[in-house]
Amino acid sequence: MGESAQTDRRPSPDALLREAEKAHRGRLKIFLGAAPGVGKTYEMLTAAQARRQEKTDVVIGVVETHGRTETEALTAGLETMPRRTIQYRDHTLTEMDLDAILVRRPELVLVDELAHTNAPESRHPKRYLDVEELLAAGIDVYTTLNIQHVESLNDVVARITRIRVRETVPDSVIERADDIELIDLTPDDLIQRLKEGKVYVPAQAERAVRHYFQPGNLTALRELALRRTAQRVDNQMVDYMRSHAIEGPWPAGERVLVCVQGGPKASATVRHAKRLADQLRAPWTAISVETLRASGSTGDSVVEALRLAQRLGGEPVLIPGQDVAGAVIDYARANNVTHLIVGKSDRAWWRQILLGSITQRLINRAGGINIHVIEVPAERADAASSPPEPQRAFEAKPYAIAALIVALAIPVGMVLHQWLGITNVALVFLTAILIGAVLHGLGPSLVACLLAMLAYNFFFLPPLYTFTISDPENVVALFFFAVVAVIASNLAARVRGQALSARLRARQTDDLYQFSRKLAAAVTLDDLLWATAHQIALMLKVRVVLLLPEGNTVAVRAGFPPEDMLEDADLAAAKWSWEKDHIAGRGSDTLPGGKWLFQPLRTGRGPLGVAGIIRDEAGPLLTPDQQRLLEALLDQAALAIERVNLARDLHLARLQVETDRLRSALLTSISHDLRTPLASILGSATSLRSQQAFLDGPTKEALLGTIIDESDRLNRFIGNLLDMTRLESGALKPRTSLNELSDVIGAALQRTAKILADHRVEVDLPANLPLVALDMVLFEQVLFNLLDNAAKHAPAGSLITISARNEDDTVELRIADEGEGIPEPDVARVFEKFYRAGGADRRRAGTGLGLAICRGFVESLGGTITAANRTDRRGAVFTITLPVPVNTFLPEEEITS
C-alpha cells in the first residue's frame, strides 16, 4: 500500500517534460477579448509599460491603435521596430519585420492581432506563425486575440452572429500560451463605447450595432470567452498539480473519435469533436475509411478535414476497409473510444430504408460507445467556396465484360439443360455472377445479376423466349435466385475488395522492406541518396530532390528524375526548412505558395538534410496516409545517412588516431635519434673552439672526424624523413633507364665504405645478369639503407653478402648479414613506418624509416622487397625482386670480351 501511494504521488513525466520544453522557449501571454473594442491593445500596452518600469527590454513589433488617442499615448517610451514594406498589385503593404526583431532580440515584443493574415510573399502566411518563431528564439511575446478567431469556435460564432470570420488561429496556440488574460466589458458598456466612436468611425459603428454588436450576440460571445479561458486555466491547474505531485480527483479517461466523411460536413464534424474533447479534457482522433472504390483518390474535403484535425491537436487516421461502419467501430473498440461523433446522413428517407446509412449502422453497432449525431446546416458559407469533389470517370469495360460472361453462360446452360434440367442452369448463371464480382467488384456484379435473371427467365422458364412466367413456382424460384445472386455478388465483391486491399498493403510493406535492404546495402552516400529518391518517387508518384548541407546552405545531391533542379526561391525555402527543422513550402504553414514541399531529414542528432517533393497535378500534394508513408521513408533514409556519416566519422577518427600515433613516433625518434648527433657535433665543435690552443693534431683530427661522421648521420636521418614525405605525398616519380646491377652496387658500397669499415663485404653476381630498369638515385638509396641496417645489427667483423640471380623474367638481389636476425613476431612489420624490431632497444640509432623507404622506392620501380631470417645460419636476409625488360640479356660474346 505504501509503495503504491508513493507511486501515485510522483510527478507526472508528461507534465515535467512540458515544463522542460518551455524552459528554452519564450513566454506567451494572450490578451483574449470577448469581442472587438473591449480594450485588448490598451491592456497589453499597460502591461508592457509596467514591464518597462521593471527595466525589461520591451519593443513594439506591431501595434494597431486605430487612431485612439488614449491607446497611442501608451506607446510613448516604447521602442517601435520599423515595419517591412511589401509591393503587391500596385499596393504598398506593411508587415511586422520578423527578421529585424530576431536580430534586435529584445526580452519582450508586443504583437497585436494574432489572427492577422500576412501579405503575400511573407515568410509565414499567418502572424501567429511569426510569433511561434519568436518564441522558439527565446523571446517573450504579448499578443491580442478575439474569441471569434479561435478555430474550434468558428462555426459557433458564425451561428451566433450570422457572420463567418475568415482569419482564425489553431486552438493549439491557446493551449501553448503560458498566460491568458481575459479582457471583457458588459454589452451595455461596449455598445456605449461604440456610440462614442472609441471602436469604429461613426458610420461603421452604427452598422456594427445593428448587426454584430447586439446585446444577445455579445452575451453569447462573453460566455464563450469565459468558458474557453476557464478551460485553459483548469488545464494549467491540472498540469501544475501533476508536475508537483499534488493529490486530487482526476477525471475519468475519455477518448473521442470523429468519423470524417466527404462533403461540406467534414470540417464541421472535426470542429465539434475538438470542442467535445476540450470539454472532456480527452485525446481525440479523426478517422476516415478509404474503401476500395475510393482507394488512392481520397476527396479534397476529407483530406482538408484530416489536416484540420491535425492542426487542432487531434490525430488523423486513414485506414482501408470495405464496410465503413464496421471499420470505424472496430477501431473505436480497439482504442477504447468512449465518444463517437458522426454527421447526420444526407440520404433521402427512402434510400435510407432501402440502402441504410453509415450513421444508422454506427448507431446499431455502437454497443457501449456514446454516439453524437450532429446536424450541419444545409447552407454553409464555406460550402460554396469548397471545390467540388473529383468524380471518378465511368468505365464501361467492366460492365461489358460482366455482360459477356452472362452471355457465354447462356449456351452453356442450353447444353446442360438437355441433360441435367433447369435447376442446374441457375447454378451456371450464379457462377457467371460470382466471376464478374471477383473480377470487377460490386457494380458489374449487380449488372450481371440483373442480366442473368432476365436471361434465365427468357431462355429457360416457360413460356420460353418471353419474359412472362406462367408457373407461380418459377416466380418464387426466380425471386430467390435473384436474392441469392445479389447476396453472393456482394460477398464476392467484399472478399475481392479485402483481397485487393491486403495485396496493396502487402506490396507497400514489401516495398518498405526492399527499401530498407537497399539502404543497408548502400556503401556510398550517393548510392543511398539515389535509392531514397527513386523509392519515394516510385511509391508516391511524385518528383523528388534530396538536399544536404554544404557550408552555410544546402545543395541538391540527388533527385528523381535526375535532371530536376531548384530555382532560387525554392532553394531558399529548402534552406529555411533545414535551418528551422520544420516543414516548408506547398501546402504547409510556411511559404505555402511554393511549388515544392520540403521536409527535413532528421534523427536524434538533428536535421541531416531536406527532401523536396512536387506533383504536377493540381490539388492536395499528399493525403495524410501518404504523408505518414513519406515520413516513414524519410526516417529510414535519415538513419541510413547517419550510418554512412558515422562510418565516415569513424574512419576519420581512425586516421586521426593513426596520424597521432605516427606523429608521436616521429617526435620520439627526433627527440632521441636526431638530438644525439646534434649533441656530438655541438660538443666536438665547442671543444675545438675553446680548447684549440691546448689540443694536439690527432685530437683535433678525431674531433673533426666526429663532427663529419655525426653530420653524415644527421643528414641520413633528414634524408629519410624527406624521402618518406615524397612517398606519402605522391611526388615521387622514378626516372628509369637500363642499368647493370653491378654499377649500382658499386656506387652504394663506395657510399657506405665508412659505415662498413668494421665488416667484411662479399659480392656474388653472375656474369650473364640482364640489364634492369632502375632509377640509379633511388635504388642506390635502397641499397644504402639495407647495408646501413645490416651494419647496425651485425657484429663487427661479420660477413655481409650481396648476391643476385636471374629467375625467368625477374632478377633477385639478396643482402644477408650474420646478426641476431629478426624476431618472428616482427618479420611482417619491419617495413612499417617508425617500426623498429625489438622496439624497446634504443641502443641502436635510427628513425625506423629506412626499411619503409626501401619498400616505397622498390615498389615505385615495379619490384618487391621481403624480409626473412637466414636458414643456413643466424642472421637476416632481404630479397629484392625486379622485373627484367624484354631483350635485355647481354650477348655471350660481350660478356667474354
Does pLDDT of 157 surpass 70?
A: yes
Amino acid type, 409: A
Contact yes or no for 47/110 (Cβ under 8 A): no
> What are the pLDDT digits (tens) for 85-103?
888 777 888 899 999 999 9
Per-residue pLDDT, averaged over 476-492, amounts to: 77
Query: Which of 175-189, 395-409, 420-434, 847-861 bottoms out in mean pLDDT, i.e. has the lowest?
Result: 420-434
Most confident stretch, 238-242, 654-658, 885-889: 654-658
Does pLDDT of 148 surpass 80?
A: yes
Output 471 or 324, whichever has higher pLDDT.
324
Start-to-end Cα distance in the chain: 113
d(CA 750, CA 203): 115
In the prediction, which pLDDT does 891 show? 46
In the prediction, which pLDDT does 2 show? 40
Per-residue pLDDT, averaged over 110-124, amounts to: 90
* Percent of all residues in the chain with a pLDDT value above 70, rounded to a whole number: 80
Amino acid type, 689: R
Does pLDDT of 574 surpass 80?
A: yes
Contact yes or no for 513/632 (Cβ under 8 A): no
Confidence of residue 3 (pLDDT cuts 50, 70, 90): very low
Confidence of residue 131 (pLDDT cuts 50, 70, 90): very high
> What are the pLDDT digits (tens) for 368-392?
788 888 876 543 434 433 444 444 5
Confidence of residue 201 (pLDDT cuts 50, 70, 90): very low
Does pLDDT of 645 surpass 60?
A: yes
Does pLDDT of 672 surpass 70?
A: no
In the prediction, which pLDDT does 700 show? 78
Give the residue from 455, 631, 662, 442 showing the smallest Cα distance to 536: 631
Question: Percentage helix, strand, coil, to 5, in the chain?
Answer: 55, 15, 30
Output 869 or 386, whichever has higher pLDDT.
869
In the prediction, which pLDDT does 23 show? 67
Contact yes or no for 222/307 (Cβ under 8 A): no
Confidence of residue 250 (pLDDT cuts 50, 70, 90): very low
Give the three-state DSSP class for 259.
strand
Backbone angles phi, psi at 36, to 5 degrees: -60, 140
d(CA 126, CA 115): 7
Contact yes or no for 666/702 (Cβ under 8 A): no
Does pLDDT of 173 surpass 60?
A: yes
Alpha helices, H only, 730-769:
741-751
d(CA 314, CA 302): 15
| DSSP character at residue 854 | H
Does pLDDT of 595 surpass 80?
A: yes
Output 644 or 694, whichever has higher pLDDT.
644
Per-residue pLDDT, averaged over 210-225, amounts to: 73
Give the residue from 513, 543, 533, 529 showing the smallest Cα distance to 640: 529
Does pLDDT of 76 surpass 70?
A: yes
Instruction: Measure Cα distances from 591 to 130, 586, 632 in Å.
Output: 12, 7, 24
Backbone angles phi, psi at 391, to 5 degrees: -95, 135
> What are the pLDDT digits (tens) for 525-568?
888 888 888 888 888 888 899 999 888 888 888 888 876 678 88
In the prediction, which pLDDT does 61 show? 94
Amino acid type, 86: I
User: Does the predicted TM-score (pTM) go above 0.75?
Assistant: no
The size of the chain, in residues, is 897
C-alpha grid cell for residue 433? 455472377
d(CA 784, CA 857): 12
Whether omega for the bond prior to residue 463 falls within 30 degrees of 0, making it cis, is: yes
Instruction: Measure Cα distances from 567 to 335, 526, 572, 596, 709 in Å.
Output: 46, 22, 9, 10, 70
Does pLDDT of 727 surpass 50?
A: yes
Confidence of residue 817 (pLDDT cuts 50, 70, 90): very high
> What are the pLDDT digits (tens) for 418-435?
766 555 677 787 888 788
Average pLDDT of the chain?
Answer: 78
Sign of CA dihedral 666, 671, 675, 677: negative
Confidence of residue 295 (pLDDT cuts 50, 70, 90): very low
Contact yes or no for 434/452 (Cβ under 8 A): no
Contact yes or no for 522/528 (Cβ under 8 A): yes
- Which residue(s) pair with 289 in the sheet? 319
Give the residue from 369, 427, 434, 364 showing the smallest Cα distance to 402: 434
Does pLDDT of 241 surpass 60?
A: no
Continuous segment of H or E residues that includes residue 287? strand 284-290
